[in-house]
Structure 1
Amino acid sequence: MKNALITGSTKGMGRAIAIAFANEGLNVAICSRNEKELLDFKNELLGINAGIKVFAQVADGSNKVQLIDFAAAAQQQLGFIDVVVNNLGTFIPTSILDDADDTFTRQLNTNLMPTYELYRFFGKTMMGARTGHFFNICSVAALNPVVQAGSYSVTKYALLGLTKVMRLEMQEHGVKVTAVIPGSTLTDSWKDAVVDKNTMVLPEDIASAIINIYHMSAGANVDEIIIKPAPGQL
C-alpha cells in the first residue's frame, strides 16, 4: 500500500486532496495546529476507507522543527512516502508597502519554506528508490502578480521557481514533480467574501486533477497544470 503526505490537510484543497487519496486506498499522513480538527478529520478519513492507515500529528507546518518532526514520524509510522503534496499556504492581501513587519516572513515560512524542507527531507530517498511524486500547490499569482497581494505573489513566484528546479533535479531519477496552479478557489481565503461557488474552482476540482495526474503512466509527467474559474478570475 502506498503512502501520501499532505500539508495544510484539514481545510480547503488539502482536505479534498486527503479525502481523494483515501478513496484511492492510499495511507495518508496529515497535520494541523488544531488537535480537535485533526483527530476529527482522521476519524472521517477512516470512515471513508477503513482499510487505510491515517497518521495524524499536531504540528505547525510553518515551523521547520515541527514540520520535520512530522515528516520523520510519518515515514517511521507508514514507511516510504510515495506522494508529497505541498499544500500549506497563507494569503495576506496587502501591497508590499503596506505590509506589516512580519508579513513577508510569515508568508515565506508558510508558502515556500515547507516545500523546500520536505523536498530536502524526502528527495534523496525518492531518488534512491527511483519513484515518488511531489505536487506543489502554487497559484496563478505566480504567473500574473496581484498588486493587492504583493508579497504573497513574490512567495508564489518563488514556489513555482523552486518547483522547476526540483523537477530538473529529479527527472533523471524517475521522480515526478508537478506544479498545480489554481486560480480563484473556494477555500477559507474567501470566507469573508460573498461569492457564487459556481464561478469558482472548487477544492474537489484540484483533488480530482491531482488524482488523475497521479494515475498516469510511469513515463508521463505533468509539469504544470493551470485550473482557473470558467468565467475568469475573481
Structure 2
Amino acid sequence: MTAVHSYQRGSAHSPGTNGKSEQGVIVMEACPMTALGMRNILAQSCTQSENIKHVNNLAAIPNLMRSQPTSLLIMELCGESESVLDGLRLISMCLEHWPSTAIVVCTALDDPRVLQLLTVSGVKGLVLKQEPAIALAQCVQQVLAGRRSYSHKVRQLLVNQSIGGKALTARELDVLAYLFSGKSVTAAALMMHRDVRTVSTHKRNAMLKLGFHNDGELFLQGKWMAKTGPVFAN
C-alpha cells in the first residue's frame, strides 16, 4: 500500500497574523513539462496564479493543504508509484477535510468508468490531457466562478455511461486496493482487521457502483484502477 493510506486528518486552516488567509493553488503533476504548461494556463485564467505550488505526487498534497488555505487543486490521478485508487482516496479525503477547495482533475486516463466515477465523487472540474490547452483554461475559469465543468471530450465519453450514482467509500476503496494488489478477500480482511463478511460486502457494493457483475469483469474491465503513474496511460 502506498503513502496515500497513511494520510492523517487535515486540520482547519487558520488565518495569518493579519487575520486574513492567502488562498493558494496546488498543481499535482508528475511530468515537469506538463506542470509548466499548466502553470502558464493558470497565469492567464486564475486570479491566484502568483501563489501556485507544484508537487509531483499525491502524498505531498495533504501537508500543503494543512499549511495554507487552498482555493484550487488541479491534479492527475496518480504520481510515480501511486495508483488511480490512491487518487480516488485522496479526492475523498480532500472533500471531507477541505470542502472549500475546488478540485479539477486533469488526466490522461480516458476510461469512461473512471470518468463517470469522478463526476459523482465531488470534483468540480474534469478535463483530459489529450484536449487543447484552452479546455483546461475554460474549466478552471468556470470552476472558480462556482460552476461544475466537464470538458467536451469528457461529456462525449460519458454519453452512454450508466453506472451507479454514488461515489466509492473509503472502505470500498481500501478493499479494491488490496484486491488489485493481489490480495484475496480473506487476506484483505485480516489486514484491515475486519470480518470477512464485512469485506465481502464492501467488495460487492463497490462492484455494484462500478457496474461490474462478477470478478471477471472487475479485474478485466476495472484494470485501470491498478494503473500507476506517471506513465499509466501508456
User: With structure 2 as the length reference, what TM-score do the two structures score?
Assistant: 0.32
* TM-score normalized with structure 1 length: 0.32
| Structure number with bigger Rg | 2
